[in-house]
């Protein structure tokens, strides 16, 4: 990884799993890392663990609950006050809800956390990203996006909720967002790029919300048998870190483990599903996301920071 000294990196969900490993690696390369987390106590614990390995790590915290638009706005405002520019925004945090839940904004929680929150957060920080040369927005998707079907007429699952379908839809939305954002950035001729990544199958806390079969497969007791199917969070996070720091990465790239299944391994450029490249669907999702969040993107050449 090239040196990241002098760069500011915001990592959502940086207190555990993939986000923690991403934050640890970026801090180890010299970046000033902001852990944007729902639970500040857990974030502080994560920062302490990073400093045990890297005493000179430059770390700070901000409270961010992606499921609540008021929290998204408050976190973005706090970061704007602290930083005249942001070099890396890692949209890593996500989740899945086995039971149907509505957020305080009236959104289905999985879609709100995985897509609407990151969409609004990125838009509210966009001018800070545009103010940094060669900045990047990295959005973490999933191999599960291949099973995702986007229903713009029923994004909130009102016609019936199946938690796996909701998760796969949100991960498909992550890629559609990244590709449409890159198209808009390129059209404006700015230096910021949008890149996406997925970790393959990584053993993280995320599995606690999945089926009993998945939880058993992720158990440490079965690692001698499932090494080909599951990998550590540290290896899983390498796709995100490569998307964030590889000098050869281009806007619109998607990184993940190699091979047909893309379950495990060191990251390479990979292809996403044909659905993820549907431009008309991307634009419908974008306009609906703007309507729901009230956040509109204005992509233009950077102006001096406030």
CA distance readout (Å), 145 to 34, 188, 249, 289: 28, 28, 21, 18
CB 118 within 8 A of CB 95: no
CA distance 90 to 73: 17
Q: Which residues contact 267 (CB under 8 A, 6 or more apart)?
A: 197, 238, 239, 242, 243, 255, 256, 257, 258
Question: What is the rounded CA–CA span in Å between residue 120 and residue 258?
Answer: 31
- From the list 100, 161, 167, 179, the catalytic residue is 167
Structure tokens at 299: 């992509």
**What is the SS3 assignment for 102?**
strand
Count other Cβ atoms within 10 Å, centred on residue 299: 17
Structure tokens of 228?
């080909």
- Which pair of tokens denotes residue 141? 């998707």
The verdict on whether 179 is a catalytic residue reads: no
In 3-state terms the chain splits into helix, strand, coil percentages (rounded to 5) of: 45, 15, 40
Tokens of 158: 């009102």
Backbone angles phi, psi at 231, to 5 degrees: -130, 165
Residues involved in catalysis? 167
């Amino acid at each position: 990884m090239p040196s990241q000294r002098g760069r500011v990196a915001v990592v959502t969900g940086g207190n555990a799993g993939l986000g923690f490993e991403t934050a640890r690696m970026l801090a180890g390369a010299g970046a000033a890392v902001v852990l944007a987390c729902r639970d500040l106590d857990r974030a502080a614990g994560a920062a302490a663990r990073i400093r045990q390995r890297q005493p000179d790590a430059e770390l700070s915290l901000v409270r961010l609950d992606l499921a609540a638009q008021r929290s998204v706005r408050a976190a973005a405002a706090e970061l704007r006050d602290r930083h005249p520019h942001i070099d890396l925004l890692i949209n890593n945090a996500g989740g899945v809800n086995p039971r149907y839940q509505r957020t305080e904004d009236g959104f289905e929680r999985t879609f709100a956390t995985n897509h609407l929150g990151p969409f609004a957060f990125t838009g509210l920080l966009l001018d800070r990203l545009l103010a940094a040369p060669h900045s990047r927005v990295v959005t973490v998707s999933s191999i599960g996006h291949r099973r995702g079907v986007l229903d713009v007429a029923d994004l909130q699952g009102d016609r019936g909720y199946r938690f796996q379908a909701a998760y796969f839809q949100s991960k498909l939305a992550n890629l559609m967002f990244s590709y449409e954002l890159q198209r808009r950035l390129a059209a404006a001729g700015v230096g910021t790029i949008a890149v996406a990544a997925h970790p393959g199958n990584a053993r993280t806390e995320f599995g606690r919300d999945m089926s009993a079969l998945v939880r058993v497969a992720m158990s440490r007791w079965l690692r001698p048998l499932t090494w080909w199917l599951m990998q550590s969070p540290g290896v899983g996070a390498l796709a995100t870190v490569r998307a964030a720091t590889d000098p050869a990465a281009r806007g619109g790239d998607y990184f993940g483990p190699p091979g047909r299944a893309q379950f495990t391994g060191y990251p390479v450029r990979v292809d996403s599903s044909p659905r993820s490249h549907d431009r008309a669907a991307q634009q419908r999702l974008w306009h609906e996301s703007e309507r729901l969040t009230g956040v509109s993107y204005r992509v233009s050449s950077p102006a001096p920071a406030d």
